[in-house]
């Protein structure tokens, strides 16, 4: 059953309350890098190893409060709680799909902005093990204006900090761990199978490479072996195709997955739905992808949202096959998740399979991927749009 959290209609958050009281919200401890945390802890008069303990409590144990950090003295815990906040996000709404595979949260930030985070649960399919994927946001809103995207229809608000990005994964981790522990209690899972979040995709609200510094900073926190310990190859960054940042990312020595939102095989069609194509034409983008693949030795994923009558013809599939020929890549074909303000319809599955056949003619591997959580507006920006519309009406 689809469920709503008890806080789904709550109109306030910590920053609003602080402003009303003439006070300022405490800075988030999640915005501290590991080296920053060491410096802060030592300035508080504690030994350096205490920083390691705090780090582990924050990320490995996903503690919800400083009081839970039982290996720290009460005095130190009090000092931390008086200095930092552990709640950069507050839940405004939560939904779970009817099949239980997808949950989505609308989080309110300390300044009142709203962002979305999704947890997708996958059972083993014979090829891949059970996994739980967190889909996270890097911006409140987005300035790039892709016409089929609910977030793009809302405009840009601001970049998220490293802490606001990472805190989404921590929030989802708490849920994932609780589910795993419940499965152990019922015998559905053994203790050795306790996983929590196994994968993270930067495919939520916003363009990660516009917020480049904070996106890379968040990846390094997520990848830290003493924290969440999400393997680099289980982290995917999605971009509409910002060529300078793609080339910069190739030099970061991060073995992450890069996903390109392509959605059309030619400039005329792509520019109709993705304004960024006028700055970075599709041929230049694919050349940059060749450079990235050559440098990193990593396969590139292309996201291709199928829009009925717009980009889903067999001729366009063949053109895409020619465009990507010779590039180490995989294409994810995604029938569009229609939005309330959008003009595009979902093509029939038979047409998606025909499109896939056109790619196969050129040796391009692909998967037809149905969006999860359609019944709970799990597409990027849809839940935020729904809430904003309700507030405005």
Pick the catalytic residue: 116, 179, 245, 303? 116
- DSSP annotation of 58 reads I
Active-site residue, selected from the candidate residues 135, 289, 329, 380: 380
Question: Closest Cα partner for 28 from 177, 205, 170, 197?
Answer: 170
User: SS3 for 134?
Assistant: strand
Average pLDDT over residues 121-125: 77
- d(C-alpha 364, C-alpha 325), whole Å: 7
Top CATH class, 89-392: alpha beta
Strand partners, 120: 102, 133
Beta bridge partners of 329: 300
What CA–CA distance (Å, rounded) separates 390 from 96? 20
Residue 392, pLDDT above cutoff 60: no
19 pLDDT above the threshold of 70: no
Which residues are CB-contacts of 134 (< 8 A; sequence separation ≥ 6)?
A: 117, 118, 119, 168, 169, 172, 173, 197, 199, 200, 201
The pLDDT value recorded for residue 269 is 94
Q: What confidence tens digit (pLDDT) does each residue in 151-162 have?
A: 656 777 899 999
Mean pLDDT of the chain: 86
Written as one string, the DSSP assignment of 142-188 is -SS--TT-TTTTT-EEEEPPHHHHHHHHHHHHHHHHHHHHHHHHHTS
Tokens standing for residue 139: 């911006």
- Per-residue pLDDT averaged across 296-321, rounded? 95
Q: Where exactly are the structural domains of the chain?
A: 33-83, 89-392
Residue pair 383/4 in contact (Cβ under 8 Å)? The answer is: no
Residue 82 bears catalytic tag: no
- Residue 82: Cβ within 10 Å count: 9
What is the CATH code of the structural domain delimited by 33-83?
1.10.150.530
pLDDT digits (tens, 9 = 90+) for 212-259: 999 999 999 999 999 899 999 999 999 999 999 999 999 998 999 999
Asked about 193 being catalytic, the answer comes back as: no
How many CB atoms within 10 Å of residue 164?
27
pTM of the predicted model as reported, rounded to 2 decimal places: 0.86
User: How remote is the C-alpha of 42 from its chain's centroid?
Assistant: 33
- Of residues 81 and 15, more confidence is placed in 81
Categorize the per-residue pLDDT at 337 as very low, low, confident or very high, splitting at 50, 70 and 90.
confident
């Amino acid at each position: 059953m689809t469920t709503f959290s008890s806080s789904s209609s709550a109109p306030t958050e910590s920053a609003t309350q602080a402003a009303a009281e003439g006070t300022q919200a405490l800075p988030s401890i999640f915005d501290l890098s590991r080296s920053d945390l060491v410096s802060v802890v030592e300035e508080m008069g504690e030994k350096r190893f205490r920083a390691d303990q705090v780090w582990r409590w924050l990320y490995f144990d996903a503690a919800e409060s400083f009081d839970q950090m039982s290996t720290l003295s009460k005095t130190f815990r009090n000092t931390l709680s008086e200095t930092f906040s552990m709640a950069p996000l507050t839940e405004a709404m939560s939904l779970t799909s009817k099949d239980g595979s997808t949950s989505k949260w609308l989080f309110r930030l300390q300044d009142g902005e709203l962002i979305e985070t999704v947890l997708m649960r996958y059972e083993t399919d014979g090829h891949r093990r059970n996994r739980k994927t967190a889909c996270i946001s890097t911006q409140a809103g987005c300035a790039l204006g892709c016409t089929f995207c609910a977030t793009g229809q809302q405009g840009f608000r601001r970049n998220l900090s490293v802490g606001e990005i990472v805190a989404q994964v921590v929030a989802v981790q708490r849920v994932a761990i609780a589910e795993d522990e419940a499965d152990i209690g019922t015998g559905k899972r053994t203790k050795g199978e306790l996983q929590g979040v196994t994968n993270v995709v930067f495919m939520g609200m916003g363009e990660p490479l516009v917020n480049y510094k904070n996106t890379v900073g968040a990846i390094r926190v997520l990848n830290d072996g003493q924290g969440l310990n999400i393997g680099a190859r289980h982290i995917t960054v999605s971009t509409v195709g910002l060529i300078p940042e793609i080339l910069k990312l190739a030099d970061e020595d991060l073995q992450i997955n890069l996903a390109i939102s392509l959605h059309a095989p030619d400039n005329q069609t792509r520019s109709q739905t993705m304004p960024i194509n006028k700055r970075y034409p599709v041929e230049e983008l694919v050349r940059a992808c060749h450079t990235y693949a050559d440098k990193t030795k990593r396969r590139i994923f292309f996201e291709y949202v199928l829009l009925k009558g717009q980009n889903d013809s067999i001729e366009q599939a063949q053109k895409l096959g020619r465009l990507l020929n010779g590039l180490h890549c995989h294409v994810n074909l995604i029938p569009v998740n229609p939005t309330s303000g959008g003009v595009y319809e979902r093509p029939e599955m038979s047409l998606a399979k025909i499109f896939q056949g056109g790619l196969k003619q050129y040796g391009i591997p692909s998967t037809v991927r149905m969006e999860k959580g359609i019944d709970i507006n799990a597409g990027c920006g849809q839940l935020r749009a729904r809430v904003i519309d309700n507030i405005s009406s």
